[in-house]
Amino acid sequence: MSTSISSESRLLPPVTPDYYPLYLAGVLGLGIAAQWLAWRLHLPSILLLLAFGFFAQLAGDPDEIIGKELLFPIVSLSVAVILFEGGMSLKLTELREAGGVVLRLVTIGAAVCWGLVGLCAYFVMGFPIEMSALIGAIMVVTGPTVIAPLLNYIRPTRKIGSIAKWEGIVIDPIGAVLAVLVYEAVVVTGVNHVFAVAGLAIVKTLVVGLVLGAASAVTLIFLLRRFWIPDFLHNASILAAILVVFAVSNAVQPESGLLTVTVLGIVLANQKRIPVRHIFEFKENLRVLLISCLFIVLAARISPAEIAKVGWQGLMFLAILIVIVRPVSVFLSTIGSGLSWQQKVFLCFMAPRGIVAAAVSSVFAFEIVEEFVHRGADAATIAQAELLAPLTLLVIVGTVTFYGLTAAPVARLLGLASPNPQGLLIAGADRWVRELGKVIQDAGFQVLVVDTNYRNISAAKMAGLPAHCASILSDYVTEEINIGGIGRLLAITANDEVNALACQEFIHLFGRKEVYQLAAWDSGSGRRASVSEHLRGRVLFSEGVDFYVLARRFAAGAQIKKTSLTAEFTYADFLKRYGDSALVLFVIDEGKKLDVRTAESTSTPKPGQSLISLVDPVKPVAEEADTDEEDESPSETESPSSS
């Protein structure tokens, strides 16, 4: 397949030794720019990566610049790292409620998808039976590189989110192995030996993947637990181990490496003998970098003219894949699973194809053309084989566009997710914290309270607040509690160190922008500071307003009030009534968005907004009394507790 671009159409100079660094730096720059732009526009990043990849064709053909002999191994090793990172995001505890459905989706669902896609390729695209079977196998995979960002953006309810995540990661090695089996059995060996070849290959793949993956994980745990690997080599050692076991596994059994690295990631993530958070964070950052570069390069290999060659048949193939194949495979495989119809419909909108489909199709497109040429096939058959990679890229672009733009609205319509989650996870449940949480909840926002003090939690539940008696730093909070609709952390315990650690714990889930803690109760700085600045979250409310300041004000009779600002009762009137001691805690805008006030907040509340504030008791003013929506009962405080 020729995708080279003439030197006249390039924007950059011809390929010379000095051109390679410029090209590679440009690929990286385009990839990161696409990721940033996607974040700003709230779009799936893969869409812009593919668009930027088409633009990168003007700089040259990657096959010519990098070379196929080097490009394909780089892609394979990068996919190994991506699947390892995906495996590390899988928690076995999630299988208690999602395991049965996941098993059905990756077995029955995969088989149904393979068969239907194969039939579609045969009847719609007119491909030979061998190629149709291979395309069906390739299309079984979904895309953890696309599903994971989508789930982070959608934040669906816990069960359905776990199902979608597990399916998206586990199906990739299954689909890749299936593609290899089909290629070897149907294309190379011949139909007469399908069952013998496939049976042996499946057994070898499972044995090699499970044994080598688990053995590698145990070895790494042993070395790290005995501190035989220094801290500065942890990430580098894990990365080297991933690539080595992936290559060794593939050498023993083709494409078993994907299963091996996935098992390696799952075992490391679910053991309790060594901490692996720093490893996961490193691999997560590396995944973003690899995806950014891979999609640019793979998209640059195929020109729009080649995608156009698939014609209207390709568009029909894509439509059938979305409208018929995915819904049929989901509903057939989940019969008797206990899933609601809303959950099944949501799963129908979570099947984008990603980097694994692109990588596998790129490799097999090259190999199947070589195989047909070796057989002496006619030009028409070879031309059909050359359509494999463009068809796959069309499916990737089409499915990512469709699911990326529809999954979030569908999840919200079905009641399985909240748009722009405004809910608050509150660490701490003292009396004034419960009063604050109740006012926020009554204003229409989700609140979840966590504290280690059983009396505080019992009182919170009696007040109607969802609450859990647990440490905010425990795995229980992130692994067992449903935090769908929750998008922020307020760490407001009496313990500054616990607050800081809680913020560090939830940065990976909510982002640095949405983790908050009270100001430190001590005035120390430098060597006397209780917690270093870089470990803290965003300072809530105002500098100098710590836990004990708030507790004393509540003990003196201060109250939490929700006040609506109007053209007749402005923020200036609010301050005139309650004085400069009034502390604005939250602002609710006309779009029902909750703005958490911090020490950096400088905006002045405007008419149309509502304030949740802490005010000292004053004598009500008759003409302004109707403005406030408040609880007139005084707030008290209890002895502080730590979460």
Q: What residues does 118 pair with on adjacent strands?
A: none
pLDDT range class, residue 244, cuts 50, 70, 90: very high
CA distances from 183 to 200, 361, 384, 415 (A): 14, 11, 16, 42
CA distances from 293 to 152, 298, 353 (A): 21, 9, 17
Report the distance separating Cα 623 and Cα 577, nearest Å: 11
Phi, psi of 486, deg, nearest 5: -95, 130
Q: Which two tokens stand for residue 615?
A: 């005010």
pLDDT > 90? residue 248:
yes
Phi, psi of 422, deg, nearest 5: -105, 0
CA torsion through residues 432, 436, 442, 446, sign: negative
As a whole number, the mean pLDDT across the chain is: 81
Closest to 128 (Cα-Cα) out of 375, 315, 328:
375
Phi, psi of 271, deg, nearest 5: -85, 160
Report the distance separating Cα 127 and Cα 135, nearest Å: 9
Q: Which two tokens stand for residue 73?
A: 């191994």
Exposed/middle/buried for residue 474 (C-beta within 10 Å: 0-12, 13-18, 19+): middle
pLDDT > 80? residue 551:
yes
497 touches 432 (CB < 8 A): no
Exposed/middle/buried for residue 43 (C-beta within 10 Å: 0-12, 13-18, 19+): middle
Residue 423 parent element (H or E): strand 423-427
Report the distance separating Cα 361 and Cα 390, nearest Å: 9
What is the structure's pLDDT at 14? Answer: 56
Report the distance separating Cα 348 and Cα 234, nearest Å: 40
Residue type at 562?
Answer: K
Better-predicted residue by pLDDT, 622 or 62: 62
User: Helices 144-154 and 355-375 meet at what angle, rounded to 10?
Assistant: 160
How is residue 9 annotated by DSSP? Answer: G
CA distances from 623 to 51, 85, 357, 573, 581 (A): 60, 61, 67, 12, 22
Please state which of the ranges 2-16, 113-127, 258-272, 440-454 shows the lowest mean pLDDT.
2-16
Report the distance separating Cα 314 and Cα 293, nearest Å: 26
How is residue 520 annotated by DSSP? Answer: P
pLDDT > 80? residue 383:
no
Tens-digit pLDDT profile for residues 267-312: 998 888 888 888 887 887 888 888 888 888 877 877 777 777 888 8
Closest to 62 (Cα-Cα) out of 131, 135, 1:
1
What is the structure's pLDDT at 219? Answer: 94
Residues 498, 603, 434: CA angle, nearest 5 degrees: 40
Q: How far is CA 468 from the centre of its chain?
A: 26
What is the structure's pLDDT at 195? Answer: 58
pLDDT > 60? residue 11:
no
What is the structure's pLDDT at 418? Answer: 66
Tens-digit pLDDT profile for residues 474-494: 878 877 777 777 888 999 998
CA distances from 373 to 368, 426, 604 (A): 9, 65, 72
What three-state secondary structure class fits 351? coil
CA distances from 538 to 219, 428, 434 (A): 40, 17, 21
Better-predicted residue by pLDDT, 127 or 534: 127
Report the distance separating Cα 579 and Cα 561, nearest Å: 14
Report the distance separating Cα 408 and Cα 419, nearest Å: 8
pLDDT > 90? residue 425:
yes
What is the structure's pLDDT at 16? Answer: 62
Place of tokens 């989700």: 446
What three-state secondary structure class fits 309? coil
Report the distance separating Cα 401 and Cα 279, nearest Å: 32
Q: In what order do the strands lie in the sheet with 538-539?
A: 467-469, 447-451, 423-427, 486-491, 515-517, 538-539
pLDDT range class, residue 98, cuts 50, 70, 90: confident
pLDDT > 80? residue 642:
no
Report the distance separating Cα 279 and Cα 233, nearest Å: 11
Exposed/middle/buried for residue 189 (C-beta within 10 Å: 0-12, 13-18, 19+): middle
486 touches 449 (CB < 8 A): no
Q: How far is CA 184 from the centre of its chain?
A: 34
Count each helix (H run) and each strand (E run) in the chain, helices first. 26, 11
Q: Stretch 507-535: mean pLDDT, rounded?
A: 74
391 touches 383 (CB < 8 A): no
Tens-digit pLDDT profile for residues 591-621: 788 888 888 887 888 888 899 998 887 655 5
Report the distance separating Cα 103 and Cα 291, nearest Å: 27
How is residue 545 annotated by DSSP? Answer: -
Tens-digit pLDDT profile for residues 490-520: 999 988 888 889 998 888 888 888 899 988 8
CA torsion through residues 225, 227, 229, 231, sign: positive
Residue type at 530?
Answer: S
Residue type at 583?
Answer: L
Q: Stretch 327-347: mean pLDDT, rounded?
A: 90
Q: Stretch 342-353: mean pLDDT, rounded?
A: 89
Q: Stretch 131-153: mean pLDDT, rounded?
A: 79
